[in-house]
Amino acid sequence: MSDCRRTTKALIETLDAVTPVQPRALAEEKGKLKSRRTILQLYEDAIVHVRNLRLKRPCPTGDETRPAKKNSYADFLRTPKTSQASIDSQIFIHGMLSSRSLLFVVCSLPELQVVAASEAVDMLYRDSPSVGIIGQNLLHFIHFKDFWKVRKVARQAQAGELAGGESKAEALMQEQFEAKLATFLDVSCRGVDKEYMCRGITFTEFCWFPVHVSPDDKIAFILQEKSSSPPRPPSAADAFVPSIPRCPNRFRSRNELRRISATFYFDEICSTAFPWNVDAAMQRIQANAHPPFIQRAISSMAWTESARRVVQRITGDVGHEYSSRTTSSLSRVVTRMCQIHVFVDLNEHGVPYLVSHMRLRMPQWIGSIKTPWVLIETANLDGSPTQMPTAENDKYVGYYLDQSSPPDELHISARFYERVDGQYRCYHTRTTVMQPDHIHGRCIKVFGEVFKSATEAPYEFVHALNKTEEADPALVESLRAAGNAQAIGEADSATPTPVMQMENVDMSTDPSFLALPSFYAERNGYPHKSSPSTRFSN
């Protein structure tokens, strides 16, 4: 036997004598060592024994050792209390806010305005057109389906309910929740001659941990990206680097966008609020916050002679100068007769854009006619803020394509900005979901909430547009022949232009006018034949 083998054998015998034997099943193999273990089993027991020694630390009172808490790496790294140096609170706060790995957000209550955020959070909004997340409402960066989760924690923190129990920290950790956070990213658009960079939006799901509520009504959150494993409270050993997708990303193809184009009608049964009610709620929150879209659209259709004749026949007496302050009752009657044509395509730069037209489609007892299409709005879906027609000219809107939407759906996030000191600040958001529908074939739903404070009851609304027929071939052909010029301008049409001629149609099978019972029509002011109060004069 060589000297090397003798040395190895002696070391194994020494290790076998000092390594405790771990419990094993009787059926396992018995070795030739004195402890009746194999060499492999000896190595395994030695590793377990060394790990147990590392999880023990010296006591401040003597040389003995005591076991640390289970799975507590902080106890292993921490020195005895007698030798700990005090850390200034400002240094600790500066360290958290300057961290590029820890997602840390501090909000004021009850508004949930972001007052501080770590550098890792700022990195998520480096592609945002606004000033970032600091100084803005946190709910404007949360997915609309998760608003209630954030509000619940905010109300509990405001009422002091999170401080109950033996430990305030434990009470906070029990309120952890999952919510999607909006982040912005660059998207590559392939044009005719070169590539262009646009701005998109994506929603990533995070686990939110409220970790502190201060006496001056501020709440702090630590965010952790959700994974396949169950959420756990963050520890000091965590090092989180955001995995938000970055460029290159691309928009949908031209064929995918064109399949969404169709003609829709406003479904007041599936909707929870009328557009003018939402406009009134927006005005109560902030003056000139949002131009009345439907009322402006109805007023725009009055530019055509055929639409004026229809409105005169409905109301009996309407002047040629149709006021934009349309009454709600007249708006409801006209809205039921409106058709909205939505066309989505790519322009010559590869940027997606949306063009909406509107017309009146009368039922059979009014004349079975269609008024000309009137251009209502054009918008580039590249996230660039576009000025809205308001009195102060300080309101902007940006439309973003959601890169995290399902393949068979198209999600558009509309963000409304106010320009303050040369910077954009978001004050309202809406999400438009274009998705298949098993009844109508395709539908459009607009989700939004009007609020000023997170603890106030918000004005929630859903606008439902159901498909009534395919896209108008003549209108689509005219839009394509125009070379997408309408989508390159501003997102508003100040002088609507009729683009098609009026034509007679058969309205006898229109489900939006004939499927409702008469009692519902009378209760809601719906024009129908059997109601004497809604007869129209020639």
Q: Phi and psi of 275, rounded to 5°?
A: -60, -35
The span from the CA of 224 to the CA of 248, in Å, is: 24
Task: Compute, in degrees rounded to 10, the torsion defined by CA atoms 260, 261, 267, 273.
Answer: 80
pLDDT at 318: 42
- Cβ atoms within 10 A of the Cβ of 485, count? 11
Dump strand ranges (E) for 421-537.
423-437, 441-450, 459-470, 503-504
pLDDT at 174: 67
Crossing angle of the two packed helices 39-54 and 3-18, in degrees rounded to 10: 50
Residue position matching structure tokens 């389906």: 145
pLDDT at 320: 39
Q: Which two tokens stand for residue 243?
A: 């995995």
The span from the CA of 186 to the CA of 192, in Å, is: 19
User: Three-state SS string across 466-482, please?
Assistant: EEEEECCHHHHHHHHHC
pLDDT at 175: 74
The span from the CA of 287 to the CA of 197, in Å, is: 34
- Cβ atoms within 10 A of the Cβ of 257, count? 21
**pTM across the whole model:** 0.65
pLDDT at 163: 52
pLDDT at 1: 56
pLDDT at 390: 61
The span from the CA of 279 to the CA of 462, in Å, is: 13
Single out the residue of 54, 186, 53, 209 nearest to residue 126, CA to CA.
186
DSSP of 290-337, one letter per residue? S--HHHHHHHHHTTSHHHHHHHHHHHS---SS--S---HHHHHHHHHT
pLDDT at 227: 65
- Count CA atoms closer than 13 A to 289's CA, side-chain side: 20
pLDDT at 243: 44
The span from the CA of 154 to the CA of 172, in Å, is: 11
In the chain the first and final C-alpha atoms are separated, in Å, by 120
Task: Report the number of secondary-structure helices (H) and strands (E) in the chain.
Answer: 15, 19
Per-residue pLDDT of the chain (538 residues; tens, 9 = 90+): 577 788 888 888 888 888 888 877 766 667 888 888 888 888 888 888 887 776 554 444 444 444 544 444 344 333 444 444 455 566 767 777 777 778 888 888 888 888 888 888 888 887 777 777 888 888 889 998 988 888 888 888 777 665 544 445 555 666 788 899 988 887 777 665 666 777 888 888 888 888 888 888 888 888 888 764 444 444 443 434 444 444 334 556 677 777 888 889 888 888 888 887 888 788 777 766 665 555 556 555 655 666 666 666 655 544 434 444 444 566 676 777 788 888 888 877 777 888 888 888 776 666 667 778 888 888 888 888 888 766 566 788 889 888 888 878 888 889 888 887 778 888 888 999 988 887 778 888 999 888 876 667 788 899 899 888 888 888 888 887 765 444 333 333 333 333 433 333 333 333 333 333 343 334 334 344 443 333 333 3
pLDDT at 33: 85
- Count CA atoms closer than 13 A to 305's CA, side-chain side: 2
Q: Which two tokens stand for residue 369?
A: 């006619």
Q: Which domains does the chain have, with CATH numbers?
A: 3-82 (no CATH), 89-225 (3.30.450.20), 254-382+469-534 (no CATH)
